[in-house]
């Protein structure tokens, strides 16, 4: 039992990420509404962000800002005292880019709605098969 608890404590961040990723992936595959697909994509992105951030953690470490760093020399800084800054950097940009891609995805959805008057995948497919593209 204690072994199981130790495994859980050491790995639960990955499991949470994988479950979140599965939810996003399922929404992208199975949902027919385009906005729901976009929301699924965003959940997927959130899972990736969480994964990266959780790999940055170290036991007993503080945030990646050097304490009393202003004007001080960097001697005696131990890497184990500060969290890994690299995943934070990567995800900082990824969050902003994900917002921007969300905007583009929603813009594409608006364009699809203009052309087909629908956001449901099956209805759009039926319209394409029937060859009725109402250009506006």
Please give the residues from 15 up to 74 whose contact with other proteins meets the rule CB under 8 A: 15, 18-19, 21-22, 25-26, 29-30, 54-59, 61, 63-67, 69-70, 72-74
**Chosen residue from 87, 116, 119, 124 binding other proteins by CB under 8 A:** 87
- Half-sphere exposure in the Cβ direction for 53 (13 Å, CA): 14
Question: Do 45 and 25 contact (CB within 8 A), yes or no?
Answer: no
Question: Do 91 and 53 contact (CB within 8 A), yes or no?
Answer: yes
Question: Do 28 and 40 contact (CB within 8 A), yes or no?
Answer: yes
Residues that bind other proteins (CB under 8 A): 7, 9-15, 18-19, 21-22, 25-26, 29-30, 54-59, 61, 63-67, 69-70, 72-74, 77-80, 82, 84-89, 92-93, 95-97, 99-101, 103-104, 106-108, 110-111
């Amino acid at each position: 039992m204690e072994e199981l608890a130790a495994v859980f404590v050491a790995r639960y961040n990955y499991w949470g990420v994988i479950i979140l990723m599965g939810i996003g992936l399922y929404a992208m595959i199975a949902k027919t509404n385009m906005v729901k697909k976009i929301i699924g994509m965003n959940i997927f992105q959130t899972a990736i962000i969480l994964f990266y951030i959780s790999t940055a953690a170290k036991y007993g470490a503080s945030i990646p800002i050097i304490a009393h760093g202003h004007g001080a020399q960097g001697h005696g800084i131990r890497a184990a005292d500060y969290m890994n800054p690299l995943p934070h950097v990567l995800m900082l940009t990824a969050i902003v880019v994900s917002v921007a891609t969300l905007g583009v995805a929603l813009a594409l959805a608006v364009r699809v709605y203009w052309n087909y008057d629908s956001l449901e995948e099956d209805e759009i497919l039926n319209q394409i098969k029937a060859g009725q593209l109402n250009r506006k």
